[in-house]
Amino acid sequence: MSADRIARFSALVAAQPDNPLFRFSLAQALDAAGRLDEAAEHYRECCAARADWMMPRILLGKLELRAGRPAAARPVLAEALELAIVQHHEEPEVELRALLAGL
């Protein structure tokens, strides 16, 4: 299943490399398949594409934690927290504060 999703979204990203939604979906599929470094690359591109997009930052931060890279996770999660506060996303704010407190 995840191989199908990866193939589908890889093709979409190849056809439209500037479409951040396709790239985000590819990152999620790669993440689910345990291909963390590849997923991280795509999450980073999503973050660069939209300064106000909180979700790829949250998922990238969590990925970095799972990969054993807390120093890489901290600034990404802190940026996501700032977005959660500004955008009034209470549940992500609580989750992000807890993740950052654990670092």
Q: In the predicted model, is pLDDT for residue 97 greater than 80?
A: yes
Q: Which of 49-74 are b and which e, b meaning 16 or more Cβ less than 10 Å from the residue's Cβ?
A: eeeebbbbbbbbbbbbbeeeeeebbb
Write down the pLDDT at residue 2. 84
Q: What is the pLDDT of residues 36-90, one digit of tens each?
A: 999 999 999 999 999 999 999 999 999 999 999 999 999 999 999 999 999 999 9
* pLDDT > 70? residue 1: no
Tell me the whole-structure pTM to 2 decimals: 0.95
| Token pair listed for 78 | 């802190």
Q: Can you say whether residue 34 is alpha, beta or left, with left for phi > 0 and alpha for psi between -120 and 50 degrees?
A: left
Neighbours of 82 (CB within 10 A): 14
The pLDDT value given to residue 66:
96
- pLDDT at position 70 is 97
Determine the pLDDT at residue 93: 98
Q: Are 53 and 47 in contact (CB under 8 A)?
A: yes
Which candidate, 77, 72, 66, places its Cα nearest to that of 100?
Answer: 77
pLDDT (0 to 100) of residue 14: 97
The pair of structure tokens assigned to 46 is 């999503």
Question: 2-101 — its CATH code?
Answer: 1.25.40.10
| Distance in angstroms (rounded) separating the CA atoms of residues 25 and 43 | 9
